[in-house]
Amino acid sequence: MAEQTLRDCHILVVEDEYMLANELRIELGEAGAIVLGPVGTLEGALTMIEAEPHIDGAVVDVNLCGDLAYPAADLLAQRQVPFVFTTGYDQGMIPPRFKHIPRCEKPVDMAKVARAIGRAMHQ
């Protein structure tokens, strides 16, 4: 299913843990996505979102090297880019403006993340 929904879609990966970022890159790539990044800092995420003309969806880790990724999520929302959060935080830590955003709890199942972003993009 993920292969059909992600094929040729530009998916931004915002994740500071190298192994997890790499696993996401591989999983999304195998599903046919064109992976942007990964980027591992809030500054890098903001720069990529502002510079990249075409982003179909994004996978965003809530905590990037101690910085909360909400400014990047706000920018994605402003551009109307669907995204999902990956996080170890419970729902209570997510600001109310993001309560509707799908959240994949860490440790994450890569296939589950691919399905979640596919659903978010095609709703």
Would you give per-residue pLDDT tens digits along the chain (123 residues)? 444 589 999 999 999 999 999 999 999 999 999 999 999 999 999 999 999 999 999 999 999 999 999 999 999 999 999 999 999 887 888 999 999 999 999 988 999 999 999 999 988
Q: Which domains does the chain have, with CATH numbers?
A: 2-121 (3.40.50.2300)
Which pLDDT does position 93 carry in this prediction? 87
pTM: 0.94
SS3 content of the chain, % helix, strand, coil (to 5): 45, 25, 35
Pair 68, 24: CB distance under 8 Å: no
State residue 2's pLDDT score: 44
